[in-house]
Structure 1
Amino acid sequence: MSDSKPRVVAIVQARMGSTRLPGKVMLPLAGRPMIHHVVERLGRVPEIDEVIVATSTLERERPLVEYLEGIGIPVFRGSEQDVLERYYIAAQNYNADIVVRITADCPLLSPAITSRTIRVFLREYPKYEYASNARIRSFPRGTDTEVFSFSVLKKAHIEAARPYEREHVTPYIWMNPEQFAIKDIISPVDLQSLRLTVDEKEDYLLARAVYDSLYPDDPYFDIGEILQLFLLNPDMIKINQNIDQKEIGQ
């Protein structure tokens, strides 16, 4: 990489085939598909140079691909199961020096939290090659951000062999700290009990309630406004409080 500013590309992995909530990335929030809001919120992160969506080559992804192409969002299509390969080729095709990994089930992701994670990485790169605010849980689920260099992604792509390492992209990196310089980003306030991701119907109902409450008056709402909403409406966070989180490898 040259001395010029590294090119930061956010790659959002998305698919229509979720087993727990099929087609969730196209479910409506404030009149637009969930994937629209994920990309829109990433667009408010100043450190990101480009946002692309990486999905599979399966026919069932057609509604997702057609929607994204219709609103001018770049789409890369690759392996359904080997998401690590999908990320590697997408990053290569879009000339990424630094990759920001985001999943499409996070319509309440925080531009502020993602921006902070990227800034910490860039400030300390190349001392650190991988940074995450989710490896040690302290931020809400659904604000997860992983940042890593293309060279680290290439090494993981070449060396990772186990199926869950290929499916989940980054386990090979963070399970081998002796090979990679890892930076964990910890929240100054412990918010790990908050669940803002969308895996189940109840998660979607919570996300919809947040969007219905905040988006019409402030489409740029962030984590502060969400927390304030929950303080004023404590019953809202009970909507999905009984969901068991599926961990990587289960």
Structure 2
Amino acid sequence: MTSIQPQVVAIVQGRMTSSRLPGKILADLGGKPMLAHVVERVRLAQTVQRVVVATTSDTSDDPVAEFCRAQGYDCFRGSLFDVLDRFYQTARAYAADVIVRITADCPLIDPLVIDQTVEAFFQYQVDFAANRLPPPWKRTFPIGLDTEVCSFTALERAWREAAQPHEREHVMPYLYEEEGRFKVHVIHAGQDYGDLRWTVDTAEDLTAMRALFALFQNNPPLSWLEVLPVWLQHPEVQSLNAGVQHHWFNEFDERFGKREK
């Protein structure tokens, strides 16, 4: 008798009204929208059965929904600022047993790191596994490889109980911010590369990623370990976004809680 395998669904969150760089998820990066890089790389993770883009029901995200339709990407539309609710409703709609949270501003997301994180989730039988926690916690993977994995049961509990704005906007803080509330496991890189910034949150980040992609003829390798030496060999690229500060876990968009369209 064969056992039923859990349905692992990767949910890629993104919206056009980013506070620091509006429109970034459809910004051109190496000849195609950044969102395409993210979805296509996540689809290569062996542990993931389905990839869904979770955007908002706001009219500003009609272009995102249309792009997903044109590309054949699964897409779910939900709350503009209550991203925890958006994730929960997406997970319900796609019958997810396990949810992998990815953000649409990570064009170098590594499918092997996704697999490593999902495998750790099952191996250690936890409620939540990740390859980093945001500041003030320490991380060793570069910023931009961020992968979070949780059970649907844990997500549902967070959806019911989480009340603070940062818990609703950043989806997962309720699962890790209070020690002992859930079983948590964090994986680490072999060395500390936690200060490297490979995400796109600002115009400086986008400039840096465009410069890095150009070094690979706009086709960077899937493995972050192959990207790493090229990044380290080009301080002129590193300097492009060296001054950008990463968000802390309890920061939130000041627009949160205001009436949505």
| TM-score, with structure 2 as normaliser | 0.90
Matches within 5 A, 1:1-250: 3-125=3-125, 128-135=126-133, 136-216=138-218, 218=219, 220-250=221-251
- Secondary structure at the aligned position of 1:147 is classed as strand
C-alpha distance in 2, partners of 1:149/1:212? Answer: 38
> Aligned residue pairs: how many?
246
Stretch deviating more after TM superposition (29-38 or 132-141): 132-141
CA deviation map 1:5-29 (0-9, x unaligned): 1111000110000121110001111
**Contact 2:43 2:51 (C-alpha < 8 Å) held by counterparts:** yes
C-alpha distance in 1, partners of 2:90/2:222? Answer: 30
RMSD of equivalent CA atoms: 1.5
C-alpha distance in 2, partners of 1:123/1:245? Answer: 30
CA deviation map 1:74-106 (0-9, x unaligned): 110011111111111100110111000011111
Q: Report the residue type matching 1:108 in the other structure.
A: L
C-alpha distance in 1, partners of 2:69/2:207? Answer: 27
Gaps of 5+ in 1: none
Q: Tell me what 2:254 maps to.
A: none
CA deviation map 1:151-206 (0-9, x unaligned): 00001011111121111111111113322100011111101010011111110011
Q: Report the residue type matching 1:228 in the other structure.
A: P
- Secondary structure at the aligned position of 2:241 is classed as coil
Q: Report the residue type matching 1:130 in the other structure.
A: F
Identity of aligned residues (%): 40
**Contact 2:41 2:222 (C-alpha < 8 Å) held by counterparts:** no
**Contact 1:215 1:221 (C-alpha < 8 Å) held by counterparts:** no
| TM-score, with structure 1 as normaliser | 0.94
- Secondary structure at the aligned position of 1:239 is classed as helix
**Contact 1:214 1:221 (C-alpha < 8 Å) held by counterparts:** no
Q: Tell me what 2:255 maps to.
A: none
C-alpha distance in 2, partners of 1:81/1:233? Answer: 37
- Secondary structure at the aligned position of 1:183 is classed as strand
Stretch deviating more after TM superposition (190-199 or 132-141): 132-141
Q: Report the residue type matching 2:232 in the other structure.
A: L
- Secondary structure at the aligned position of 2:51 is classed as strand
Shift of the alpha carbon at 1:234?
Answer: 2.7
C-alpha distance in 2, partners of 1:43/1:219? Answer: 16
CA deviation map 1:120-142 (0-9, x unaligned): 112222xx111011114111111
